[in-house]
């Protein structure tokens, strides 16, 4: 049975993210593996430091895996570390860079294998965006190719920072294909898929089919 999957709206490793305690308990470990890949151009070590301080409050330790370039995602030792992880956290930053580093690599395969084996996988902001397909292009709100772990689903993180026009364009695209669901997450919020395939939320989360808010059970179960 797969492990829990958490799509986080941003603002990770902060006081509102109390769901991390539940994820930590579900993982059965006291070590969280943090991938700051999306923050490669924004002092990625800071993301790891924030995670260390946050999870220390929850009684856990953090290991940072500094996979910042695509070539590093092909190293067998990095894939082995991810495959063995019981709780992997992919932080925010640039979704375009994160996708380009992970797509079709042994590291991405290892992340999927760890989740399928019961491990916890969390992605925040850019990390949540790339796990879905389609992925929302943050430059204008259009759809582009995501990694497809959850589909058909487009994730809009930190939606409170989006202009009405940009969100409207994204929902317009979803309205053209009613198979596409849009998950709008405010900072500090999360949608969590449990091993049974059901979803639960923390904080302010809206699920859209086109422009229409719909029930949580519209989210893909697998």
Question: What is the tens place of the pLDDT at every residue in 155-168?
Answer: 999 999 988 888 88
Domain span including residue 200: 5-218
∠ CA 102-68-85, rounded to 5°: 65
SS3 at position 38: helix
pLDDT at 47: 95
Count of structural domains, the chain: 1
Q: Is the pLDDT reported for residue 177 higher than 70?
A: no
pTM: 0.95
Q: What CATH number has the domain bearing residue 139? A: 3.40.50.880
> Where would I find the H helices in the chain?
19-27, 44-57, 76-84, 95-102, 106-116, 126-131, 164-176
């Amino acid at each position: 049975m797969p492990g829990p999957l958490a799509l986080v709206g941003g603002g990770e490793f902060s006081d509102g993210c109390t769901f991390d305690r539940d994820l930590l308990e579900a993982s059965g470990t006291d070590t969280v593996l943090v991938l700051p890949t999306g923050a490669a151009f924004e002092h990625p070590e800071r993301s790891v430091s924030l995670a260390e301080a946050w999870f220390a409050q929850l009684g856990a330790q953090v290991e940072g895996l500094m996979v910042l370039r695509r070539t590093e995602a092909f190293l067998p030792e990095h894939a082995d570390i991810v495959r063995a992880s019981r709780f992997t956290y992919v932080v925010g930053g640039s979704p375009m860079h994160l996708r380009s580093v992970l797509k079709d690599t042994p590291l991405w395969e290892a992340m999927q294998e760890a989740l399928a084996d019961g491990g916890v996988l969390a992605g925040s902001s850019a990390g949540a965006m790339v796990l879905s397909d389609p992925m929302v292009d943050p430059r204008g709100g259009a759809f582009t190719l995501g990694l497809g772990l959850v589909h058909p689903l487009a994730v809009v993180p930190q939606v409170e920072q989006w202009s009405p026009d940009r969100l409207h364009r994204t929902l317009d695209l979803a309205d053209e294909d009613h198979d596409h669901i849009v998950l709008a997450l405010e900072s500090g919020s999360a949608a969590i898929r449990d091993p049974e395939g059901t979803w639960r939320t923390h904080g302010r989360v809206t699920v859209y089919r086109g422009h229409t808010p719909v029930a949580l059970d519209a989210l893909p179960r697998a």
